Amino acid sequence: MTVEAGCHLGRDPYDPSGTSNWINSLLYQIDQAGFAVPDLGGIIHQTVGGFLSTGSAGGSIQHAFDDQVIGIRLIDGTGEIREFTRESGSDEFFAAGVSMGLLGVITSVTIQLIDKFDIIGSQSTLPVDDCGIDLFGTGNADMPGIESFFRTTEYARLMWWPQRKVEKMVVWKARKMKPDDYTPYNPRTKKGTGMPNSFHPQPYLEFFKFHGNQLSAEAAGGIFYSIAGNWLNAFQKLKLSWIVRLLMRIVTWLYPSHILPVVINMFNPIDSESNPPGPQVFWDTWWDGLPMDNKVDDKLVPVKFTEIWIPLEKSMEVMVALRGLYEKSGYSAAGSFSCEIYSAKKSDFWMSPSYNRDVIRVDVFWFGYNYGDPAKDYYPQFWKLLMENKDLNCRFHWGKYMPINPEYLKAQYPKWEAFMRLREKMDPDQIVVTEYWRERLGIPVA
């Protein structure tokens, strides 16, 4: 299948042109034709070109979107139309796969599709020490280590709530459905999956339902985090009595250790305390189930990210280092939000953060309405922690917050120099070079 690069993967509710809808999206079209791609990221708002160019990926070591890309057409900085294929084995193809737009404007992508499928899975919320994964060790016969968990679980995502008095892990895992997984659907009880030709999805719920829908809980969470991330700064600008200022100091002192844990535990109860008790079980189509975060409203719960990619065999070291930071720094590191941990299969594309290696990904969240700049006020402690351990060989998601350190990045990519030579050849006048990329990649002025 060949798709124009500006086509959205799914519906983009924030498309400034107002033209994006489900029917004109890539996933709808290929699903209707009976096909699929083997993996997707947590959201599908982005365009095909944007997803590819930034090295985005889903949460699987067994499947990858990158593997299915077999052709790329672009217009380089000289205005020349270029077409590259995987079959040719050309350097240009493997450089263009993840190029941040620096080789030119991608106009279309050719993808090898697979047969459509459904997924079945579960999500458990449990104490960190009792989540069924040896997060900080090598694992044993009864409990896999985190590396083994990611290698053996077809699709997986972990959400770590490291705050004191919370310390929970949300374990989302899924796999492709097999013939034996399909069961007759009973319309009266609304039980059963239905058969492949009459499938009845039971979608994953990101938030618990309140009065029959998730929107109320989502809105409540957004309001809480908006207030928590801004109230102190707002009140500092007001002329307040000493009594109010004293009250503010007391609330500020109580918030990390008493107020915040109560709120998080209310919204994220462990399985035995949820209603109904037990893990959440879901089954869904490939296009709706794999993007597990796609239904989150980016206006109600806006989230910013830094995403650090590290060789999967270093998983235990990464988790131990993060735990040490949370224990040492407390609220200043843990914050009010969670940390996402998942994986990605190795890629053949030169500038992919998973080039030539399977990776564990540390996705540190920042609530979008918080006062301050996460690149200055929050993320540097994580960057420093993991970059200073040279054995970890960190790389960063090109489409999310990242440190400005070209020399460090250069050392992490074996094909860095080859990519830069090709970039200079295809865009000698730096028509597509932006100041953003000049600063982060150390591209000199032509």
Query: Does residue 151 lie within any of the structural domains?
Result: yes
403-417 pLDDT, tens digit each: 999 999 999 999 999
Would you say residue 329 has pLDDT above 60?
Answer: yes
Looking at residue 220, its pLDDT comes to: 82
Whether 257 maps to a domain, the answer reads: no
The mean pLDDT of 315-339, rounded to a whole number, is: 95
Q: What is the mean pLDDT of residues 201-230?
A: 78
Q: Would 341 be classed as within a structural domain?
A: yes
In the predicted structure, residue 156 carries a pLDDT above the cut 60 = yes
**What is the helix (H) or strand (E) element at residue 231, kind and residue range?**
helix 231-236
Instruction: Indicate if 185 and 145 belong to the same structural domain.
Output: yes
Token pair 């989540």 is found at 131
Position 422 in a domain: no
CA distance 156 to 15: 29
pLDDT value at 181 more than 90: yes
CATH of the domain at 172: 3.30.70.2520
Higher pLDDT, 259 or 112: 112
Does residue 211 surpass a pLDDT of 60? Answer: no
Domain at 103, CATH number: 3.30.465.10
Greatest distance between any 2 Cα atoms in the chain:
74
Query: 195 and 324 share a domain?
Result: yes
- The residue with greater pLDDT, 369 or 102, is 102
Domains identified in the chain, total number:
2
**Is residue 240 in some structural domain?**
no
Give the pair of three-digit tokens for residue 184. Answer: 């007759």
Residue range 53-88, pLDDT digits in tens? 999 999 999 999 999 999 999 999 999 999 999 999
Would 146 be classed as within a structural domain? yes
**Could you tell me if 97 and 126 lie in one domain?**
no
Predicted pLDDT at 276: 87
46 and 153 part of one domain: no
Q: Quick one: 69 and 127 in the same domain?
A: no
Is the pLDDT assigned to residue 212 strictly greater than 80?
no
**Which structural domain range is residue 93 located in?**
2-115
pLDDT tens digits for 116-132? Answer: 999 999 999 999 999 99
Mind listing the pLDDT tens digit for each residue in 21-53?
999 999 999 999 999 999 999 999 999 999 999
In this prediction, residue 90 carries a pLDDT of 94
Same domain membership, residue 181 and residue 52: no
pLDDT in tens, 353-404: 999 999 999 999 999 988 899 999 999 999 999 999 999 999 999 999 999 9
Whether the per-residue pLDDT at 441 is higher than 80: the answer is: yes
pLDDT score at 210: 60
Q: List the end-to-end C-alpha distance of the chain, in Å, as a whole number.
A: 38
Mean pLDDT of the chain: 93
| Beta-carbon count within 10 A of 210 CB | 13
pLDDT of residue 227: 78
Per-residue confidence band for 233, with pLDDT thresholds at 50, 70 and 90: low
Instruction: Please compute the mean of the pLDDT values over residues 308-335 and round it to a whole number.
Output: 96
Tell me whether residue 377 is in a domain: yes
Same domain, 68 and 134: no
Q: Flag whether 332 is in a domain.
A: yes
- Of 144, 147, 204, residue with least CA distance to 174: 204
- If asked whether residues 163 and 14 sit together in one domain, one would say no
Q: Per-residue b/e over 78-103, b at no fewer than 16 CB within 10 Å?
A: eeeebebebeeeeebbbbbbbbbbbb
User: 318-343 b/e with 16+ CB inside 10 Å = b?
Assistant: bbebbbebbeeeeeebbbbbbbbbbb
Considering the domain architecture, whether residues 390 and 305 belong to the same structural domain is answered as: yes
Whole-angstrom distance, CA of residue 245 vs CA of residue 257: 20
Mean pLDDT in residue range 324-338:
94
SS (H, E, C) 337-369: CCEEEEEECCECCCCCCCECCCEEEEEEEEECC
Per-residue pLDDT, 296: 87
Q: What is the distance between the alpha carbons of residues 196 and 219, in angstroms, rounded to a whole number?
A: 35
